[in-house]
Structure 1
Amino acid sequence: MSIADEAIAAGNSAGTSSFRRWVRVVPALLLVAAATFVAAYYVPLHRAHVLLLEEQRKSNQKSKDLEQTLSQVRGELQAKTAEVEKSEAERQQSEAAKKSGLERVEQIKAELAGKLDKHIKKGVAAVAVAEGQAFVALSESAVFLPNTVDVSPQGQSLLCQVSGALSASGGGQAPLRAGAVSGPPDSVPAALQAAYPTPWELSAVRAATVAQALQEKCAVAGARLSAVGHADHDPAAAALGETKLSPGRVEISIALPGGSPAGK
């Protein structure tokens, strides 16, 4: 073999050896490149994707929670609004009823005053409406015979007129209460003081006598009547205000429709 052939053979051998090394190196390089790509790009991207999914899940959950809270708040607001509207409607209704009641009270008072105008002008009667009751106060001199606890003929007529007017205002069959005030001791005649030593006795007898007259002379059912003596105390004084009536008086009252029963 010539030197040239040996050189060629040696070159071929070197080339083959170099090629074989490259064949072994290239896969390793590709593997390294792939590993580098995975480590440098895929893993971070995957982690970022997972984080985004988690954030989206949390965001969706927060959105659901907010919607639930908003729905609850809306429900509570609607309930509160309905409650406020109901309360306002009840308040307006109550005010309207109160206004209507006051107007009715004034109407009843005016009706009673109109029916008893002659006696009011004479100063022997007074009309008042208070605490769900309408009542008429009468001077004892207009009801009883002098120095007695007996009802006079004029007193009987007056009591019947009063009971009729009150019954018309109170609904016809409402209870009537006859009350009597004896007045201060120095205003009571000596004859009556001798027969009835205490104001309680005198006022109680007068109240019972008036109730009896209402039943017997004015055809008021006994079941509708009650009698109470106030002695020299007058619970109706504030409602009557300043009147021309004498300290001793008779007061006939009736509960108005929607008001408290008489005597309570």
Structure 2
Amino acid sequence: MDIAGKVAVVTGGGSGLGQAIARRVVADGGKVAIFDMNEAAGQAMVSELGDAALFASVNVADEASVAAGIAQVMDRFGAIHVCVNCAGIGSAHKTYSPKQGAFPLADWNKTIAVNLTGTFNVLRLCAEQMAKNDPVNDDGGRGVIINTASVAAYEGQIGQAAYSASKGGIVGMTLPIARDLSAIGVRVNTIVPGLINTPLFDSVTPEIHQTLCNSVLYPKRLGKPEEIAKLAAAIIDNDYINGECIRMDGGIRMQPR
């Protein structure tokens, strides 16, 4: 699918991976709707990207909130062709530890709700709008969905039970959803990032930062959000990439801690 002239919804588009992808969409001639709970960051992106961008304050885990955001997109741009799910949260609790006791169930539920259910919530409602599109190519393509997982889906570290489960769920649902939506010409893929240099790493010490870089096979550095955006652009463009979970991690294989 040629993104030029098309409309993309990007969750978590106010910062990090989502921000880089939103910028790439507009740079390639598309329009972007940024779904984020950080209004200041979202509005800053609109100021940067101009008329090609829309911000909607959306809680991805809330059905009514997502539906309202999609209504704004349809009212402004008239269609949705691409959905990129980047919104997510972290979680760090052991299943049990003598100091903390059992994993707080509320934290488990929140992580699953935002990362896994939130991803599905947004993509299902975007797919509903994609089904209304006229085909944009000779293959009958109407839309592209890109989800974001994590290498923790495969190699979750100590304390990452909830986070790994949420990201593993995204990996696990990729092919079934691609099969579900094939009848309407919508492709579904998942990017599986490793250690990407997002604001999450701003607070780490130089020593920890270097240790993280050294853990990557090659190149020995953190990934760049722009590199994830480049992969997202390639997935959108290449109509034969479907039902795939693509690791982008410099060859890293995470250790237990």
Report the TM-score, using the length of structure 2 for normalisation: 0.30
Decide which structure has greater helix share. Answer: 1
Structure whose CA Rg is larger: 1
Report the TM-score, using the length of structure 1 for normalisation: 0.30
Decide which structure has greater strand share. Answer: 2
